[in-house]
Amino acid sequence: MVQDFIAGIDIGGTKIALAIAAAGGEVIERTSFPMDACRTPHETLNQTLEALESLAEEHHGRLSAAGIGCAGPLDFERGIVISPPNMPRSWRHFPLRSLVESRLGVPVLLDNDANAAALGEHLYGAGQGYTDLVYLTISTGIGGGIIAGNNLVHRLGEAGHVTVQPDGMLCGCGARGCLEALCSGTAIARRAREYLLAGRQSKLREMVSDVKQLTAKTVADAVRENDELACTVWREIVSFLAIGIGSIVALLAPQVVILGGGVAAGAGELLLQPLRDELNQRVHIVSLQRVQVLQAGLGTDSVLRGALALGTRALQHART
């Protein structure tokens, strides 16, 4: 008998991850490949869909629905990628959902990657059992997703673009001092690089052959070795993060804030503990004792698991 599979796709600025799952959500197989900025979105999409169809065939099945988490902002209602600052420019105004629907001939749901990750964490990760949560991804950029009353909330702006420093660093969105401009992985590396170029001494100089190779992970590694400059950068980042997350907590009073994405997953408690302390200092209107600040439970798989959950929803919607 031919088995029906759900397809999940996580499209990010640096890589595309995909998986097929059984109807109950169990992941059957997965693969990934790098995002190639030189290829058109159509070429990348073809490669993705062919890979998914091959996975389904290898497991003697067929695809019955697909869910996609893609870097935002995007138009959820129309299924169109709008202008993600961390994706190749050729993806702007790309009608992703309708193309996948017509190519695969199955129902498809598309959401931004942070919303997909919030859903993944709520169903399978650190957000299980909570009815109200905020998920923030800290990686190349910063994005956020909200579950309220057990439902994924749409029609929201972008959490990564709340202002945390008036007239601060110019952000990819065009505004100044956004959370993303100051606290993303890219921003952490840039801040450390600026200090080094200004002549500050640090172990960071020995940890990379060229300061251009500095990453947020290098900075976190140097913080673990008590490097003074890296610790300065880290304190600044934690402070700006606490301003941004503190505003979000004051507004939404969630039960839990979950931090995911490559930077948060790599740093773990090195980031979370000082962040909790700083939030305690800053937020008074909401009791922080009632707001957990946790690391994502699915590591870097939050978006992919959420995309699979979106696929299941697409199938349910099609049947009702």
Nearer to Zn ion, 171 or 188 (CB): 171
Residue among 178, 223, 283, 293 that touches Zn ion (CB under 5 A): 178
187 is an interface residue for Zn ion by CB under 5 A:
no
173 is an interface residue for Zn ion by CB under 5 A:
yes
216 is an interface residue for Zn ion by CB under 5 A:
no
Tokens of 69: 């988490």
Nearer to Zn ion, 178 or 271 (CB): 178
| Region from 37-45, 153-161, 212-220, 260-268 binding Zn ion, contact rule CB under 5 A | 153-161
Nearer to Zn ion, 171 or 223 (CB): 171
Nearer to Zn ion, 127 or 185 (CB): 185
Edge-to-edge strand ranges of the sheet holding 151-152: 151-152, 142-148, 133-138, 256-260, 292-295
| Region from 167-175, 208-216, 231-239, 257-265 binding Zn ion, contact rule CB under 5 A | 167-175
140 is an interface residue for Zn ion by CB under 5 A:
no
Which residues, other chains included, contact 35 with Cβ-Cβ below 8 Å and sequence gap of 6+? Answer: 11, 12, 13, 14, 15, 16, 44, 87, 88
| Region from 25-33, 42-50, 161-169, 200-208 binding Zn ion, contact rule CB under 5 A | 161-169
191 is an interface residue for Zn ion by CB under 5 A:
no
CA distances from 36 to 98, 99, 115, 237, 258 (A): 22, 19, 24, 30, 30
Distance of closest approach, residue 180 Cβ to Zn ion, in angstroms? 5
Query: What is the DSSP-derived secondary structure letter of residue 90?
Result: G
184 is an interface residue for Zn ion by CB under 5 A:
no
35 is an interface residue for Zn ion by CB under 5 A:
no
Which residues, other chains included, contact 116 with Cβ-Cβ below 8 Å and sequence gap of 6+? Answer: 10, 67, 68, 69, 145, 302, 303, 306, 307, 309, 310
Tokens of 142: 């910063």
Nearer to Zn ion, 97 or 161 (CB): 161
Nearer to Zn ion, 81 or 307 (CB): 81
Residue among 171, 283, 309, 314 that touches Zn ion (CB under 5 A): 171
Say if residues 297 and 130 touch (Cβ distance below 8 Å). Answer: no
Q: Give the total residue count for the chain.
A: 320
28 is an interface residue for Zn ion by CB under 5 A:
no
161 is an interface residue for Zn ion by CB under 5 A:
yes
| Alpha-carbon gap, residue 89 to 83, rounded angstroms | 8
162 is an interface residue for Zn ion by CB under 5 A:
no
| Region from 52-60, 175-183, 199-207, 215-223 binding Zn ion, contact rule CB under 5 A | 175-183
Distance of closest approach, residue 173 Cβ to Zn ion, in angstroms? 3
| Alpha-carbon gap, residue 239 to 211, rounded angstroms | 24
Beta strands in the chain (DSSP E): 3-11, 15-21, 27-34, 61-70, 74-75, 80-81, 108-112, 133-138, 142-148, 151-152, 256-260, 292-295
By CB under 5 A, how many residues form the interface with Zn ion?
5
| Region from 1-9, 139-147, 177-185, 209-217 binding Zn ion, contact rule CB under 5 A | 177-185
Say if residues 65 and 7 touch (Cβ distance below 8 Å). Answer: yes
Nearer to Zn ion, 138 or 147 (CB): 138
Cβ atoms within 10 Å, residue 49: 19
The site for Zn ion (CB under 5 A) is made up of 161, 171, 173, 175, 178
